[in-house]
Structure 1
Amino acid sequence: MAAPCYLGWDFSTQQLKVIAIDEQLRVIYEDNVHFDKDLPEFKTQGGVYIHSDRLTVTSPVLMWVKALDVILEKMKSSGFDFSQVRAMSGAGQQHGSVYWKKGSIQILKNASPELPLHQSLKGCFSVRDSPIWMDSSTASQCRALEKALGGAQHLARVTGSRAYERFTGNQIAKIYSQNPEVYKQTERISLVSSFAASLFLGTYAPIDYSDGSGMNLLQIWEKAWSKPCLDACAPGLEERLGCPVPSHSVLGPISPYYSQRYGFSPDCKIVAFTGDNPASLAGMRLQEGDIAISLGTSDTLFLWIQEPTPALEGHILCNPVDSQTYMALLCFKNGSLMRERIRDECASGSWDEFSKALSSTDAGNSGNLGFYFDVMEITPEAVGVHRFNRDNQKVPRFPKEVEIRALIEGQFMAKRIHAEKLGYKVLPKTRILATGGASHNKKILQVLSDVFNAPVFTIDTANSACLGSAYRAIHGLVAERNVPLADVVKLAPEPRLAVTPTPGAEELYRPLLKRYAELEQKVIYNPASSCLVK
């Protein structure tokens, strides 16, 4: 008799991925469908269509449905035993939206197991090409929403974020204003995550609190739609969205379509799907006080926060694994490309030389501080390279080794300052989980550990959203009994301890962090005084 297993799905921008794990949390199956390569008939590039205005970015909804057909057929032909799947959950790229035409629920409920799903659903979508997170065509809708809510800060206080062009509410507002007829024909609007869950459920799946927090529509404190936000976007929006639910909710059993076509057990449970970033938080197994830092092209912070203070930068979302708490996302555009430029200029293009230079300077860099923004930064809004000596005077250049330390210390001090602005607190039990290219460099991680005064661990996150979805499938079955996710994933491999803070680091960096925050105010982008020192 085969052992029970759990599925995690990830409907991401470029591909659909699936992972199966057993009760020991071991990965027993994984597969993917790459949209451009495996479904060339949709003619996407990177899974998307970039429209002629260069601002509008969409993906064809039927491509996502067909990808599911293809991957399930691949699993079937490889002999995968669907009857052993006890539960599944999934993730979707955040902010994207799907528009179901009136009458579609009947087609979804009664899909014939003789046909692949994309054939049954081909007439179900009032908007064929879904707006996705890469879209930035809704500037006027964002301004209107902030105005209706009494300003950007008030909107952030209500929904966790100021108005962003990719956020779903603003995309819905654009569709309503440009195509009121299309909006009128729409009976349900799903996020990519709840759309994917609907395919498995055979009826409209609700939006979960966590992914729902990325719409500029959900009151993150009351966990209910904000009437002023809904009214500012489109009429009759509440009935088109349905009621949001906790992210650990069991939505119901799998649709009979899958039992009849693939042999799933009729008892297989569908746990609410969520966004890819929230699912990654589950996959990285963050706990209270933890912080995950992805050091990539852009640097992204994931924070677990008890009492958030929403700001004009970053995003506060409901926590997908504990609906009483929150998570925050902060993105810094000047990440690895900035580090690589300074490495090339100051360390002959060698990471070894870069690390030696970092070790040759003292923590605190003798009071020298720098801001390094080759491209317009979003956290904070600033551009250019700005160097300050210990007396806070602007200087045109630093010696090479001072430049290297100023860059790394500055990048990590900014991360701590902006995390704390959102309500994050470093706790005695805090762990920093580092991933991405720079997480392989121990000298860089030492600075990170010292600035935050917390140990740094490294983790492998190749499939964190997919794995997080599989973990959440198991968690959903026991969450009603208040079992925390941490108890469910005890058997998963532990992160590897990389470095611990140098004794005395907190005392050294506390005054520097204060100075850095004050100097940051001086470099924030002001078009009127834009004489940048390079």
Structure 2
Amino acid sequence: MEVQESIVFRCNMNLSSIVLGIDSSTQSTSAIVLNAASGKIEAEVRVNYKNDYRLKEYVLDPTTMVLPPLEPGEASQPAQMYLAALDACFSDLYKSCPNLIGKTEAINVSAQQHGQIWLSEKGVQSIYNLRSPMDNWKLTDYFADGFSSERAPIWMSSNSLKESMQIRKFVGGPNAITKISGSNSPVRFTGSVLARTASLLEEAYRNTERIHLISSFLAAVLSGDPNAPIDWGNGSGTGLMNWREKVWDQVLIDATISCGLPDSNLLSRLPPLSSPLTVIGKIAPYFTKKYGFSQDCLIIASSGDNPQTKVLASGSMLSLGTSFVIMGQGSQPVLEANAMYDGIGRPFLFGCRTNGSLTWDDLRKRSGYLSSDYQVSEKALASVTPGSITRICQPREESFPISPILDIGNELPFAENYAGVVDSSLSLVYLASRSFSGLDSESITVTGGGSSSYEVLKRIAGIWGRKVLQIKDAGAALGAAVAAACALVAKNSVENFIEVIRNRVIKPSRVVDPEDKIYNAYHRSSGYLENLQDIFLNSIAKKSDHYGK
């Protein structure tokens, strides 16, 4: 696509603008300072929840990074931890690049999707109080009594099956709810998790004045505005938003209330919805006084980690992290995927295989290797012909495609076993996403830890039948920074500008073309993909009580 460099900026901005992207994830909070003119990352910091001394009071399970569960499947993190990590991030930036902080024109947040924060009436006031900062106070001091529940339910929650089924049934079944919300009432979405959590913490829910997503909560804190909106992308992940109309939907709200919420005032607890590029205000004086941000620094509406990451790809994108996430073009919801909007407001379709590389790591450990011994797994993949072994290993229930625990195929020596599991997990993502990840046929962008493996990239090129572009640094914080720069340009320039800045920022680390021999092994008649699909569907049919989850 040919793009022009003549971009009109809002607020008298220019292409030398410094923007800041923040990502509040399950394991860390990171920040990237980006020069929009050069595409250069000027500074980057990360605060890890597990080992940063400033977060030592927040005791999490070292493997799952969540609090001890209230019941099986419940997954929460301390709400205060996100504030302490944000302060720590800014403190590290201030020490390393104080001049850049003062030049920052805009801040945009990414945060783990579906996670929610319950604010009490005092918590709403605490956000306003950031406009009149107290000497030597930390963010956590303002919110000492600010949360109706100190627990922030996150995307890992899997205890809301009953509620998700009730919501789906109330609306009229899979097709009806997908048409309205863009998704088939997934277990991990905010609405069903909220309903389940409210049944466990009824008093806390009754005392809740405002329910924010983690991204909108941090945007509210940064702007000193408790009414900071939820953007359309993260709104899509609540199961409460009408995907086409981009408004809170009363039918979806009523469906959630029908799960047994303590009262019927859910809608009044939600902030408004907006475009992810909305400028919601200037930075709160707390941050100008403590860290030296300009009082004119703008706060953008913010979004979820998947929408912000999708900003960095023009077509389909496959993220190989703890979960495998496939994101493809699409302007109409389909049952097989979740319809969302990215961090600049473009529609896309999304599927998440919850246990992704976690299954690969487990297999290495079970075979006597370190989970991080990537060299042994690379040698294993290189020694086995792609598409030659059918082996499905799902030690946990899966979300994409929806399926129960499965163990199919013979236990083989490590190399063959590992190659078979890698082939099947990637191929099942492909098979489940064919209705949307094949709509743009030129290439597929691959990122995440698993993308460092050349043998994995070869298999992806063969399975998808497309050129693979490996992007090492395509994280959500960078996507948030790029989206922040987009928020500073005139609305009619965004489509052109995203191509300009993406070409500056994103450089493929490796390009892998599909090999005919590998492609044919997967795609020929009665070949690997066809056989895998038959075996998988037959196994699902035998455990049909799990299907539709």
Could you tell me which runs of 5 or more consecutive residues in structure 2 were left unpaired when the two chains were aligned. 1-15, 258-263, 370-374
> How many angstroms does 1:203 deviate by?
0.6
Q: Work out whether residues 432 and 454 of structure 1, in 8 Å CA contact, stay in contact via their aligned partners in 2.
A: no
Aligned residues: 502
Q: Work out whether residues 10 and 17 of structure 1, in 8 Å CA contact, stay in contact via their aligned partners in 2.
A: yes
TM-score by length of 2: 0.81
Q: Which residue of 1 aligns with 2:512?
A: 499
Does residue 58 (structure 1) correspond to residue 76 (structure 2)? The answer is yes
Provide the rounded CA distance (Å) in 2 between the counterparts of 1:400 and 1:176. 45
Equivalent residue runs for 1:42-81 within 5 Å: 42-46=58-62, 48-51=66-69, 53-78=71-96, 80-81=98-99
TM-score by length of 1: 0.83
Could you tell me which runs of 5 or more consecutive residues in structure 1 were left unpaired when the two chains were aligned. 388-395
Q: Secondary structure at the match of 1:7?
A: strand
Q: Which residue of 1 aligns with 2:454?
A: 442
Provide the rounded CA distance (Å) in 1 between the counterparts of 2:85 and 2:545. 51
Provide the rounded CA distance (Å) in 2 between the counterparts of 1:238 and 1:90. 24
* CA gap 1:343/1:495 in 2 versus in 1, 3 angstroms: farther
Q: Work out whether residues 117 and 211 of structure 2, in 8 Å CA contact, stay in contact via their aligned partners in 1.
A: yes
> How many angstroms does 1:84 deviate by?
0.4
Q: Work out whether residues 136 and 166 of structure 1, in 8 Å CA contact, stay in contact via their aligned partners in 2.
A: yes
Does residue 208 (structure 1) correspond to residue 231 (structure 2)? The answer is yes
* CA gap 1:381/1:257 in 2 versus in 1, 3 angstroms: same
Q: Which residue of 1 aligns with 2:9?
A: none
Does residue 250 (structure 1) correspond to residue 279 (structure 2)? The answer is yes
Equivalent residue runs for 1:142-221 within 5 Å: 142-204=164-226, 205-221=228-244
Equivalent position amino acid for 2:253 in 1: L
> How many angstroms does 1:198 deviate by?
0.3
* CA gap 1:233/1:498 in 2 versus in 1, 3 angstroms: same
Q: Which residue of 2 aligns with 1:99?
A: 118
Provide the rounded CA distance (Å) in 1 between the counterparts of 2:479 and 2:433. 23
> How many angstroms does 1:373 deviate by?
3.6
> How many angstroms does 1:273 deviate by?
1.3
* CA gap 1:190/1:342 in 2 versus in 1, 3 angstroms: closer
Q: Work out whether residues 26 and 112 of structure 2, in 8 Å CA contact, stay in contact via their aligned partners in 1.
A: yes
Q: Deviation per CA, 1:205-262, whole angstroms, max 9, x where unpaired? A: 1001111111111122222222111112232222221321112222222123333443
> How many angstroms does 1:65 deviate by?
2.0
Q: Work out whether residues 357 and 404 of structure 1, in 8 Å CA contact, stay in contact via their aligned partners in 2.
A: no
Identity within the alignment, %: 24
Q: Secondary structure at the match of 1:25?
A: coil
Equivalent residue runs for 1:341-356 within 5 Å: 350-351=376-377, 354-356=380-382
Equivalent position amino acid for 1:8 in 2: G
Which has the higher mean CA deviation after the structures are superposed, 121-130 or 326-335? 326-335
Does residue 305 (structure 1) correspond to residue 317 (structure 2)? The answer is no
* CA gap 1:429/1:343 in 2 versus in 1, 3 angstroms: farther
> How many angstroms does 1:78 deviate by?
4.2
> How many angstroms does 1:316 deviate by?
2.8
Q: Secondary structure at the match of 1:21?
A: strand
Q: Secondary structure at the match of 2:166?
A: helix
Does residue 40 (structure 1) correspond to residue 56 (structure 2)? The answer is yes
* CA gap 1:151/1:72 in 2 versus in 1, 3 angstroms: same
Q: Which residue of 2 aligns with 1:392?
A: none
Equivalent position amino acid for 1:16 in 2: T
Q: Work out whether residues 343 and 404 of structure 1, in 8 Å CA contact, stay in contact via their aligned partners in 2.
A: no
> How many angstroms does 1:92 deviate by?
1.3
> How many angstroms does 1:139 deviate by?
3.4
Q: Which residue of 2 aligns with 1:27?
A: 41
Equivalent residue runs for 1:453-532 within 5 Å: 453-461=465-473, 464-478=475-489, 480-484=491-495, 485-503=498-516, 509=523, 511=525, 512=527, 513-524=529-540, 526-527=542-543
Q: Work out whether residues 126 and 182 of structure 1, in 8 Å CA contact, stay in contact via their aligned partners in 2.
A: yes
Does residue 84 (structure 1) correspond to residue 103 (structure 2)? The answer is yes
Q: Work out whether residues 381 and 525 of structure 1, in 8 Å CA contact, stay in contact via their aligned partners in 2.
A: no
Equivalent position amino acid for 1:228 in 2: V
> How many angstroms does 1:73 deviate by?
3.4
Equivalent residue runs for 1:252-271 within 5 Å: 252-271=281-300
Provide the rounded CA distance (Å) in 1 between the counterparts of 2:418 and 2:337. 27
> How many angstroms does 1:269 deviate by?
1.1
* CA gap 1:63/1:428 in 2 versus in 1, 3 angstroms: closer
* CA gap 1:314/1:99 in 2 versus in 1, 3 angstroms: same
Q: Which residue of 2 aligns with 1:11?
A: 24
Which has the higher mean CA deviation after the structures are superposed, 4-13 or 101-110? 101-110
Q: Work out whether residues 6 and 20 of structure 1, in 8 Å CA contact, stay in contact via their aligned partners in 2.
A: yes
Q: Secondary structure at the match of 2:273?
A: coil
Q: Which residue of 2 aligns with 1:109?
A: 128
Q: Secondary structure at the match of 1:49?
A: coil
Provide the rounded CA distance (Å) in 1 between the counterparts of 2:423 and 2:500. 36
Provide the rounded CA distance (Å) in 2 between the counterparts of 1:377 and 1:117. 38
RMSD after superposition: 3.3
Q: Work out whether residues 208 and 247 of structure 1, in 8 Å CA contact, stay in contact via their aligned partners in 2.
A: yes
> How many angstroms does 1:87 deviate by?
0.5
* CA gap 1:106/1:406 in 2 versus in 1, 3 angstroms: closer
Q: Secondary structure at the match of 1:301?
A: strand
Q: Which residue of 2 aligns with 1:291?
A: 317
Equivalent position amino acid for 2:211 in 1: I
> How many angstroms does 1:4 deviate by?
4.4
* CA gap 1:341/1:154 in 2 versus in 1, 3 angstroms: farther
Q: Secondary structure at the match of 2:478?
A: helix
Partner of residue 275 from structure 1, selected from 290, 296, 304: 304
> How many angstroms does 1:18 deviate by?
1.6
Q: Which residue of 2 aligns with 1:393?
A: none
Q: Which residue of 2 aligns with 1:418?
A: 432
> How many angstroms does 1:38 deviate by?
1.9
Which has the higher mean CA deviation after the structures are superposed, 239-248 or 169-178? 169-178
Provide the rounded CA distance (Å) in 1 between the counterparts of 2:305 and 2:418. 34
Equivalent position amino acid for 2:86 in 1: L
Q: Deviation per CA, 1:257-308, whole angstroms, max 9, x where unpaired? A: 33344332222111111112222223xx2113x23241x555x132222234
* CA gap 1:341/1:64 in 2 versus in 1, 3 angstroms: closer
Equivalent position amino acid for 1:478 in 2: V
